[in-house]
Amino acid sequence: MTSYAPKVGDPISSLDTPSMIVDIRLMNANIQKLFATLLPTGRNIRPHLKTTKSAILAQKLVDAGAKGGCVAKLSEAEIMTARGFPDLLVTCEIVGAAKLKRLVALYRKNRKLRIVVDSIKGASAINDALAEDDEKNGLLEPLNVLIDLDVGLRRTGIDAGQPASQLAAHIATLSKLKLIGVQGYEGHLQHVHGDEERKAQCLASMAILTSTADALRGEGHDIQVVTTGGTGTAEFCATVPGVTELQPGSFIFMDTDYRNAIGAERYGQSLTILATVVSKQTPSQVTIDTGLKSLTTDSGLAECKDQRYTYGCLGDEHGSLRWEEGTPPLDVGDRVEMVPSHIDPTINLHDVYYAHEGGVIQDMWPVDTRGKVQ
């Protein structure tokens, strides 16, 4: 047992580092701003929980007006269901014998589950697994599925036109799957700089998505859900007739990649990583205890909240901060806050959020689905 046990009422200055801290005031302002913008459009908001990875935060979003949530992976859905949050859409394809076994077991526990498919082979395998279980255990109604459509990302999703129509027709023949909608994620557009350019490209992707939904309805399919969008595009997606649901996630915390694309005025940087200066190399360079194991680099380097100090990565455990002459020097023992460059994988490196107001811990939220990548 460790003697280190942070608690509500402690100052964040007492936390060991690196620690993930959340400014509650800024986080709540982000939530309020997004829902005030999107709820009046009449679209459902189903936030992507691959950002927060937290059932507590998922419920806070529902309390603000969200309709359920999205998760990327089946293992995330398992944990969220166990934590009492069942209204979930798994946005990545579920493929392979091990996953199918887990899917059937989860669906037995959670009848609100929705999934996506993008191939005849994948849909058939899921249907066969559900049908086999139904033969053994009975009373298993069809699982709600959405066709995952490629709208330009070229990552997952079936092509519009005949391929999508053939997949929909095939699903209609399967006894344990019920087609309820289409998903199209324009992930390649989330960080396009400039609102007008991002909007133009987004609307082109939405045309593919909504026209496919219309075509499938014309072929006799009951397409109720058209789900799409992220933090960088949700406002544009909401203007498109036929879109029914939006999936923003990063807005709640933000990061430098989104800030640089959509502007710092949209949402505040509510999450930072608290770090400590552990060594001093020169009069204008120190080492802090945040490296690759606490800050990701796939979207570039993190930044110091105080932008007078420039971050550099020094490996797994360490980073550097440098500054220009005339800047107040940092010394061993000083604390700084680091702003992640990509929020989702950064959160996945930490166990707990320390939520504070005015520098005093008000709550602690576990990162429930940390490491759940299957």
User: Does 374 reside within a domain?
Assistant: no
User: Which DSSP string corresponds to 81-121?
Assistant: HHTT---EEE-S---SHHHHHHHHHHHHH-TT-EEEE--HH
The per-residue pLDDT for 72 is 98
The per-residue pLDDT for 1 is 66
Single out the residue in 198, 218, 252 at which a domain terminates: 252
User: Does 211 reside within a domain?
Assistant: yes
Q: Which of 144, 141, 184, 178 is nearest to 164 (CA)?
A: 184
Question: The domain that contains 141 carries what CATH number?
Answer: 3.20.20.10
Structural domain count, the chain? 2
User: Does 202 reside within a domain?
Assistant: yes
Residue 25 has pLDDT above 80, yes or no: yes
Same domain, residue pair 222 and 92 = yes
* Token representation of residue 32: 């309020």
**CA–CA separation, 270 vs 238, rounded Å?**
25
Residue 68 has pLDDT above 80, yes or no: yes
**What mean pLDDT do residues 282-292 have?**
98
Query: Mind listing the pLDDT tens digit for each residue in 291-340?
Result: 999 999 999 999 999 999 999 999 999 999 999 999 999 999 999 999 99
Band the pLDDT of 138: cuts 50, 70, 90: confident
Residue 10 has pLDDT above 80, yes or no: yes
Q: What is the pTM of this model?
A: 0.97
Same domain, residue pair 54 and 84 = yes
**What mean pLDDT do residues 68-84 have?**
98
Query: Mind listing the pLDDT tens digit for each residue in 125-135?
Result: 999 999 999 99
User: Does 168 reside within a domain?
Assistant: yes
Question: The domain that contains 341 carries what CATH number?
Answer: 2.40.37.20
Same domain, residue pair 159 and 245 = yes
Same domain, residue pair 236 and 275 = no
Query: Mind listing the pLDDT tens digit for each residue in 223-245?
Result: 999 999 999 999 999 999 999 99
User: Does 7 reside within a domain?
Assistant: no
Same domain, residue pair 273 and 245 = no
The per-residue pLDDT for 262 is 97
Same domain, residue pair 86 and 127 = yes
Query: Mind listing the pLDDT tens digit for each residue in 164-193?
Result: 999 999 999 999 999 999 999 999 999 999
Q: Which of 281, 349, 268 is nearest to 312 (CA)?
A: 281
Query: Mind listing the pLDDT tens digit for each residue in 242-284?
Result: 999 999 999 999 999 999 999 999 999 999 999 999 999 999 9
Is 184 within 8 Å of 228 (Cβ atoms)? yes
Same domain, residue pair 201 and 112 = yes
Same domain, residue pair 218 and 276 = no
Domain extent, residue 59, equals 25-252
Same domain, residue pair 82 and 213 = yes
Q: Is residue 65 packed enough to be buried (19+ CB in 10 Å), middle (13-18) or exposed (0-12)?
A: middle
Q: What value does the mean pLDDT of the chain take?
A: 97
User: Does 31 reside within a domain?
Assistant: yes
